[in-house]
């Protein structure tokens, strides 16, 4: 009886593992999922530009939608960006985490020169002009691989 139970457990684990591998394979086909779910994601480009926006209190839902649309349109029309992520605070409750911002934008570039071109690109300048009245603070962090 014990052998049958052990074999049943082993068979169950084997089937569960196969199902999990099939689900991972299916997820890998989705563009929103990393190519390798087993390994950390490596960003493309050695230059990372992180922008945090604190929107003004009292912005209407239309103002917030305008900001989101302006941000997405700007990124979609800027040819210098390799990869991007637009997000909101994850509200992770840790003392070292700053959840006070409204939106974040993370972009990567293949060089400092591409980043510098992004800064003066008309899409970037238009975004600032069209959206600056909606935020009270912007904080930027740039990093580069040696």
pLDDT tens, per residue, the chain with 146 residues = 444 434 333 333 333 333 333 333 343 344 444 444 466 667 788 999 999 999 999 999 999 999 999 999 999 999 999 999 999 999 999 999 999 999 999 999 999 999 999 999 999 999 999 999 999 999 999 999 97
Q: Are residues 131 and 108 in the same domain?
A: yes
Q: Are residues 106 and 127 in the same domain?
A: yes
Q: Are residues 67 and 121 in the same domain?
A: yes
Return the H-helix or E-strand segment holding 98: none
- Looking up residue 120, the CATH number of its domain turns out to be 3.30.70.100
Q: Which domain holds residue 28?
A: 1-38
Report the candidate in 90, 91, 88 with the shortest Cα–Cα distance to residue 103: 88
Tokens of 47: 């230059």
Q: Are residues 2 and 73 in the same domain?
A: no
Q: Are residues 32 and 68 in the same domain?
A: no
Domain count within the chain: 2
Task: Quote the pTM value.
Answer: 0.71
Q: Are residues 89 and 131 in the same domain?
A: yes
Q: Are residues 66 and 132 in the same domain?
A: yes
Q: Are residues 72 and 90 in the same domain?
A: yes
Cβ atoms of 140 and 49 within 8 Å: the answer is yes
Q: Are residues 62 and 8 in the same domain?
A: no
pLDDT at 133: 98
Separation CA 93–CA 36 (nearest Å): 28
Q: Are residues 76 and 111 in the same domain?
A: yes
Q: Are residues 34 and 88 in the same domain?
A: no
Q: Are residues 9 and 79 in the same domain?
A: no
């Amino acid at each position: 009886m014990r052998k049958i139970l052990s074999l049943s457990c082993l068979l169950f684990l084997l089937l569960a593992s196969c199902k999990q591998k099939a689900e991972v394979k299916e997820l890998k086909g989705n563009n929103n999922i990393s190519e390798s779910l087993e390994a950390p994601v490596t960003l493309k480009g050695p230059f990372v530009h992180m922008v945090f926006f604190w929107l003004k209190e009292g912005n209407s839902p239309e103002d917030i939608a305008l900001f989101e649309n302006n941000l997405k349109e700007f990124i979609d029309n800027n040819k210098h960006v390799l990869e991007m992520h637009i997000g909101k605070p994850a509200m992770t409750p840790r003392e070292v985490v700053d959840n006070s911002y409204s939106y974040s934008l993370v972009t990567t570039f293949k060089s400092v020169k591409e980043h510098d071109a992004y800064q003066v690109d008309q899409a970037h300048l238009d975004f600032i002009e069209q959206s600056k009245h909606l935020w009270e603070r912007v904080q930027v962090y740039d990093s580069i691989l040696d």
